[in-house]
Amino acid sequence: MKLSEHYTRTSVYITLTVLLFGAVIYYFAINYIAQQQLDRGLQQQLTEAEEYARSNDQNPQLYDLDRDHAVFVKTNLQQLQKRFFDTTYFNPKEQRAEAGRAVEDLVKVKNNNYKVVIAISRAGQKYLIEVITIITLTLLAGLLFVLFITNKYLLNGLWKPFRLTLTEIKQFNIADVDQFTGKPSEVDEFTELNEAIREMSLRVTHDYLKLKQFTENASHEMMTPLAVVTTKLDTLIQDETLGADQLAQITDIYSSINKSSRLNHSLLLLAKLENKLITEEEPIELDIMLAEKMQQFQELMQSKNLSFQHQLQPKQILASKYLVDILLNNLFSNAIRHNIIGGVVIIQLTAHSLSIKNSGGVNQLNTDLIFERFQKGKESQGTGLGLTLVKNICQHYGYTIHYHHQTGLHAFVITF
């Protein structure tokens, strides 16, 4: 969820909570004020009724306050606590019962005590409270709607510089000549963010160029003496006066130098992949390329009496042919090198995945380390970077690769 949506949701929740609590308090406050107003009116009516009863010799039970109900009941009570309470009021005009408010008190007239109860209608007050409540809720709903629209659309423009900066960061390539510039903004925080990212990109680019230069120089300086040693070994190995032991030692040296050359090449390729320096792409018919690879490795397969089983569906991918060739070479070499005599290599290609299985040991490989650098078996003659290259090439194109072992078959599955 985007930050603006988090902000809008939080703002709406907090505002709604505050407004709801405020509306409840407001409702009870209005109700209390209206009730106090009714009680003051009742108190006035009660005072008038008491004055009437004391100033007239007539029976106070005959007293009538126009449209209000006043009832005098003779009682033997000497004291009665005056109280205001809610009751039911009968409207003589509408001929219906309504919500009402009443007051009860004790009036002494000469030697007699009368309990007086005066009731008035509170329908008008109730209607007024309902109208005020409806208006208040309408205003709250309108306020929430305006707040939501403001946060979602009007304030959304405030985040535009941030989104532009984020887009430029995603497109930033450490190998490009163009450096990060950032989009100008009137918001101080965004301006400060752009400046910090600009300085960081300059430092990263500078460090990268230094490292790149060092790597290229080191590779060149390493390859030159290796090429010289290889040339001299080629000349030396043709000397017919060498003994068998000397030839064996020269062969070991030759093998070690070749391994060093492959290791140097693999490390350089990993560096290029990690820094996304290989960008060329072309349509590749993967099924045709797999068929060609099977032909190329046929001789090596025969040396271990291995056989291919394949099921290839047409599949086209957009990638570097150079990288795909390295990926398939490593997978084929791995499947053959770690196979058993008379074993099988099974290749399955579908529209969604490529699976290369080989017969081998009964124990499953360590899935946590198998794609790590320089992880290899004790008897392996490889550099320990083959499967690491495979994984990095897959990541470079957004593919996923995983390993599993089942019924004596070790399988590497690439999902496109």
Least confident of 54-58, 66-70, 116-120: 66-70
User: For helices 286-296 and 321-337, what crossing angle results, to 10°?
Assistant: 50
pLDDT tens digits, one per residue of 246-266? 777 777 777 777 777 776 677
Most confident of 5-9, 164-168, 269-273, 377-381: 164-168
Per-residue confidence at 3, pLDDT binned at 50, 70, 90? low
Q: Find the largest Cα–Cα distance for the chain.
A: 158
**Residue 23 confidence (pLDDT):** 78
Asked if residue 103 has pLDDT above 70, the reply is: yes
Q: What pLDDT was estimated at residue 345?
A: 92
Q: Write out pLDDT tens, residues 15-35.
A: 778 878 887 887 788 888 888
Mean pLDDT of 292-308: 89
Helices (H) and strands (E) counted in the chain, each on its own, are 9, 11
The mean pLDDT of 109-119, rounded to a whole number, is 80
CB 182 within 8 A of CB 195: yes
Amino acid letter at 290? L
**Average pLDDT value for residue range 377-400:** 76
SS (HEC) of 337-384:
HCCCCCCEEEEEECCCEEEEEEECCCCCCCCCCCCCCCCCCCCCCCCC
User: Which has the closest alpha carbon to 177: 214, 199, 209, 210?
Assistant: 209
pLDDT higher for 319 or 95?
A: 319
Residue 350 has pLDDT above 60, yes or no: yes
Distance CA 364, CA 341 (A): 19
Judge whether residue 355 has pLDDT over 60: yes
pLDDT in tens, 66-99: 445 777 777 777 788 888 888 877 777 767 777 7
Which position has the higher pLDDT, 95 or 295? 295
Secondary structure of the chain: what % helix, strand, coil (to 5)? 55, 20, 25
